[in-house]
Structure 1
Amino acid sequence: MPRTRGALAAAAVAALLLPLSACGSADSGGGSTDASGKVEGDITFQTWNLRANFKPYFEGVVADFEKKYPDTEVKWIDQPAEGYADKISADAAGGTLPDVVNVSPDLVAPLAKAGLALDLDKAAADYRKEYLDGAWASHRIPGMTGTYAFPWYLNTGPLFYNKTLFTEAGLDAGHPPTTYDDLFAQARKLAQKTHGKVATLANVPTIEDFGRYGVELMNKEGTAFAFNDPKGVELLTKYKELYDAKALDPQALTATPESSGKKFLTGAVAMNPGSALDLGNFKKQAPNLYKNIGITDQITSTGHVNMYVMGVMVNARTKHTAASVAFAHFVTDAQRQMSFAKQVAIFPSTAGSLDDPYFTEEDGTDETRVRVAAAKSLKNAVNYTPVLFSEQMKTALRNEVAKALQGKESPKAALDNAVKACDTLLAQQG
């Protein structure tokens, strides 16, 4: 369950679904927005690469639902991570989209635009209060009214840092940076002390980083991007200074989350974002690092950390709306989410669940320390990545950021060009 898998080829979904946007309202093709009828009928439920590790859990959920609603039958299907967006595209275009589908916000956007995602603000408004506000809002689409998936499991994580590298550079490992000014100052000092051999960061800024810095990413209508504002230029300028000082890893321009993680494991960089899932990897793959691991909060100018969110969407054209909505809610209700969260290092999106002792009480281990801190931060976390920000847009931004860091363009020109490219792609989405 990779943390960023929601970014898989969302552009492919949009490309295939655009012709469907003229097909009519969400309840065309035999579907209905009325979920108040009898819960009955045969439905299909599709998950995203979960069968291998969680087969007994999901078989239990299906059995419990069918016991509660004896006139239903749920067929559970699971798709591999590779090509998941393409599979959804093909099913949507071919009219074979399952009744209930595991999605991420970027995948639900084109489905909603094509009238294939049920508006839960209309069909399931009574359930809204059961979920965290930020989680419920994560499946809203700019320029559209409505919410198009139940929020499911969440994740976020701290910044990990290498205490040994901090200490060797004369930094106070007990007081890691808590603001951007601290981060940039300490990064430059660490690079200077190590003569450029150890960088602090391994990744160039992404749209999520601009959001955390307090940059206005889009206009409220969802019709244009805005991350080339003065604050956006300020952040990219600071990254350019880090890059020149070798405080940003020289391979950051082509880095992936996996390659950055490896650099952190080997001590080539001093800090790296992560989640509770990473602690087990540190313990197994880099025991010396694990013994000297520092854990601190995400740095943000907004007071809100970033939240990764998965959702469960109902096909607007299902023939069994009541059963599909009931099952999507059943999978994501507080009881089921709490049970799932105890099997894997994720967090429930249901209101009140994060107040459970499991998420509030430490036992002296790093694992519980990360879990408690993450749970606390998730209560008011937001998903900074705009749901309309496609893979092509991410590439356009990354390319322009690289030009700015290399000195080929000014930070202002780079972001102006990135916004122009992303606005063009946005217009093509329809």
Structure 2
Amino acid sequence: MRMSTRAATAVAVALGSALVLTACGSSDSGGGSDSAEGKVEGTVDFQTWNLKTNFKDYFQGLIADFEKKYPGTEVNWIDQPAENYANKLSADAAAGDLPDVVNVAPDLVYPLAKAGLAMNLEEAAGKYRGEYLPGAWKSHELPGMDGVYAFPWYLNTGPMFYNKKLFADAGLDPEKPPKTYGQLFDSGIDMAKRSKGKIAMLANIPAVEDFGRYGVELMDEQGARFTFNEAKGVELVTEYKKLYDAKALDSQALTNQAEGAGRKFQQQSIAMNPGGALDLQKYKKEAPSLYRNIGITPAVNNTGKDNMYVQGLMVNKQSKVKPAAVAFAHFVTNAKNQMDFAHEVTVFPSTEGSLDDPFFTKEDGTDEGRVKVAAAKAIKTAVNYTPAVFSEQMKVALRNEVAKAMQGKKSPKQALDDAVAECNRLLKTA
């Protein structure tokens, strides 16, 4: 399914430029309107991705409750496999066969909204805005477009694990992990020096969300071009270059993927790494000496806000049952139903006040409980730093250029200038 932060974004990221939707025209030619006035009735086609196998009973109950609340309605639940979900959306959109309510992430909804196929819920359902966390409601705002194009549904975030023993061995306070990037850089250099280069702080170079957490302006106000080569962006890459040269960044950081970084953390050759409940359970079984010393902390940031991974429900602007579609999308994402879903799987409601429930604030002695409480605390004020238009190709371009800066093949400024130029080129061709 989706439920770790990595899994939640892996499917969404597959969209890239596949959903160009040339057959559907511009944002002015998609047909339909953003009005949801009228009687709630008719058959709503509802599409999710990869949820039926594990959550069939939950969704069947949810649908039955909706149909009972609104006599004269019926919900036809369509669950697509995770593989090629983006391509399926593209094909359905081009053929005019998009369901009435569709499970999306921001990068999935962007080309649909651009093609005029996603309802602007700020106009059609803005009265519900106050029911959701501000950062969650805004998560489906799209660059260069006014409005919100999906109801926020379930959320996740990525807490950091850190090795308390490695911190103590380096003379760092194991109860005070770094909270800002400045603290992270200083601690990383200290750890590398104390360990004579044997222990690195991190195993990955900065990704686009790191630029966001650092306080870099990623795009201009119009969403027309990328700007992460500004002074703060150059500063971030420069500091990572210092870590790399001091061996405070793992020697394989330029090629590491999430799985490789996880192995490094398990082998106790790096001191910090993102993780989740399943990772904790694995460490408990396979690396008990590490498990005894794991601390959990929010990912470092300079903004006071962690990164939010978000799923949403888009309403098809061309739907023939708009009132029912909007009512159903709101029903699925209301506080009660989101809380019920969070009891089924480790995700977090996007509704205001839900995260204050003891279910999210009190540990229960389990590994899942430890991670859940830490993540729930961070997600209250989290924001989605990754621009909806930042495709997989753009992520690769940024990673390649940052790697060149780490190797000294380019200056941090030149590397980011080149990354921005390529990302802006890709943006124009999308």
- Tell me the TM-score normalised to structure 2 length: 0.94
Aligned to 2:126: 125
Amino acid at match of 1:50: L
* Contact preservation (8 Å) 2:218, 2:227: yes
Post-superposition CA distance 1:52-71 (Å, at most 9, x none): 22121111111111222231
- Counterpart in 1 of 2:25? 21
Displacement after TM superposition at 1:284 (Å): 4.0
Tell me by how many angstroms 1:263 deviates.
Answer: 2.0
> 2:15: which partner in 1?
10
Name the CA distance, whole Å, in 2 between partners of 1:350 and 1:243.
Answer: 41
* Alpha-carbon distance change, 172 to 113 in structure 1, aligned in 2, over 3 angstroms: same
Match of 2:358 in 1: 357
Aligned residues: 425
Alignment of 1:54-69 (within 5 A): 54-69=55-70
Q: Secondary structure at the match of 1:13?
A: coil
Q: Describe how 1:236-275 pairs up with structure 2 within 5 A.
A: 236-275=237-276
Q: Which runs of 4+ in 1 moved over 6 A?
A: none
Query: What's the counterpart of residue 36 of structure 1?
Result: 37
Report the 3-state secondary structure (helix = DSSP H, G, I; strand = E; otherwise coil) of the residue aligned with 1:382: coil
Query: Contact conserved, 1:106 with 1:389, CA < 8 A, in 2?
Result: yes
- Counterpart of 2:148 in 1: which secondary structure? coil
Closer, same or farther in 2 for the Cα pair 1:425/1:368, shift >3 Å?
A: same
1:346 CA drift (Å):
1.1
Q: Percent identity?
A: 63
Shift of 1:7: 4.1
Distance 1:23 1:157, change over 3 A: closer
Partner of 1:408: 409
Counterparts of 2:66 and 2:344, CA distance in 1: 20
Q: TM-score normalized by structure 1?
A: 0.94
Q: 1:125 to 1:174 in 2, by over 3 A?
A: closer
Question: For structure 1, which segment, 45-54 or 110-119, has the greater mean C-alpha deviation from structure 2 after superposition?
Answer: 45-54
Q: Secondary structure at the match of 1:11?
A: coil
In 2: Cα distance, 1:3 partner to 1:191 partner: 33
Aligned pairs for 1:320-339 within 5 A: 320-339=321-340
Q: What is the root-mean-square deviation in Å for CA atoms of aligned residues?
A: 1.8
1:255-299 deviation line (CA, Å, top 9, x unaligned): 222222222122232110234554334334433322211112221
What corresponds to 2:399 in structure 1? 398
1:375-394 equivalence runs, <5 A: 375-394=376-395
Q: Contact 2:17/2:391 (CA < 8 Å) preserved in 1?
A: no
Distance 1:269 1:313, change over 3 A: same
Aligned match of 1:298? 299
Please list every run of 5 or more consecutive structure 1 residues that lacks an aligned counterpart in the other structure. none
Q: State how far apart, in whole Å, the 1-side matches of 2:215 and 2:228 are.
A: 10
Moved more, 287-296 or 332-341: 287-296
Task: Tell me if the contact between 2:13 and 2:391 (Cα under 8 Å) persists in the aligned partners.
Answer: no
Q: In the alignment, what sits opposite 2:346? A: 345
Task: Deviation per CA, 1:287-336: give whole Å up to 9, x if none.
Answer: 33222111122211111111111111111111111111111111111011
- Tell me, yes or no, if the aligned pair for 2:180 and 2:300 is still in contact at 8 Å: yes
Structure-2 residue corresponding to 1:50: 51
Query: Cα offset for 1:377?
Result: 2.4
1:356 and 1:277 map into 2 onto residues whose CA distance is 23
Q: Any conservation in 1 of the 2:296–2:374 contact (CA below 8 Å)?
A: no
Residues 6, 105 of structure 1: 8 Å contact kept: no
